[in-house]
Structure 1
Amino acid sequence: MFARLQDVTALLGRLAVATVFLAHGLEKWDAGVSETAAGFESMGIPLPTVAAAFTILVEVVGSIAFIIGLALPLVGLGYAVVGLGATLGVHLEAGLTGQGGYELVLVLAGAGLALGFNGGRISLDHLLFWSKRKRERVGESEVQPA
């Protein structure tokens, strides 16, 4: 029972984190890579076109993958990188709290990273990879060396 509750709460956490990243990503998607890169450049973010394309990819495609539970560790790392970039490039000067502070970015990046490596069993990753490994281990233990 407790394991099921853990899986449900991990799913709810993934949905919450992915929804916020997806909302921000769709804004950038609508603006386009060029406009997003121009905004990044005005903030002093290095390689603004690469950063814009990476951020849009992580926030849109990564969030969809995060919701369905696919490539969770990869997306979690992507969220951490985007969060670190947003903190250093945009929010750091404002401090932790207050107008423009980095508290939300910090929480989202940390939660995304944690859920990326602990996303629960209600995920495609678990269905496709972990269940297969478990079946293989059970098969190996049934074969006893002579």
Structure 2
Amino acid sequence: MFARIQDLTALIGRIAVGVVFLAHGLDKWNQGVGATADMLSGVGVPLPTLAAIFLIAVEVIGSILFIVGVALPLVGIGYAIAGLGAVFFVHLDAGLTGEGGYELVLVLALAGLALGFNGGRFSLDHLLFGRKRAAVNAAEPELQHS
């Protein structure tokens, strides 16, 4: 019973974090790569066009994958990179709290990373790969005692 609650809370967390990143990604998508790259260049991000493509891909495609639970570790790492980049290039000078502070960005980035590696069993990753891993892990003690 407790494991199902853990899986449900991981799903709820993935949906919440994914929706927030998706909303930001759709804003960038609507602005376009050029405008997003100009904004990134303005705050000193190196390779702004490449960074804009990365952010749009992670925040739009990655968020959809994150919500349904596909490629969770990869998307979690992408969220961490995107969020920590925003902390250091945009929000750091404003401090942790207050207007423009980095507290929300930091929490979202690291929550995405944590959920990427602990996304629960209510995910396509678990459905596709988790059962195979569980079967292999269950067989390992038998192999060690042989």
SS in 2 for 1:84: helix
Q: CA deviation at 1:8?
A: 0.2
Please tell me whether residue 80 in structure 1 is matched to residue 73 in structure 2: no
Q: TM-score, normalised by structure 2?
A: 0.93
2:98 paired residue number: 98
Instruction: Using the TM superposition, name which of 46-55 and 128-137 deviates more.
Output: 128-137
1:52 paired residue number: 52
SS in 1 for 2:27: helix
Q: CA deviation at 1:142?
A: 8.0
Amino acid at match of 2:39: G
Q: CA deviation at 1:133?
A: 2.2
Distance 1:96 1:90 in 2: 12
Amino acid at match of 1:120: G
1:127 paired residue number: 127
2:118 paired residue number: 118
Uncovered stretches (5+) of structure 1, i.e. residues with no partner? none
Q: CA deviation at 1:44?
A: 1.2
Distance 1:117 1:58 in 2: 16
SS in 2 for 1:32: helix
Cα RMSD (Å) of the superposition? 1.7
Instruction: Using the TM superposition, name which of 98-107 and 127-136 deviates more.
Output: 127-136
Q: TM-score, normalised by structure 1?
A: 0.93
Amino acid at match of 2:25: G
Distance 1:107 1:134 in 2: 31
Uncovered stretches (5+) of structure 2, i.e. residues with no partner? none
Amino acid at match of 1:89: F
- Paired-residue identity, %: 67
Distance 2:133 2:59 in 1: 30
Distance 1:100 1:2 in 2: 38
Instruction: Using the TM superposition, name which of 42-51 and 16-25 deviates more.
Output: 42-51
Q: How many residues align?
A: 145
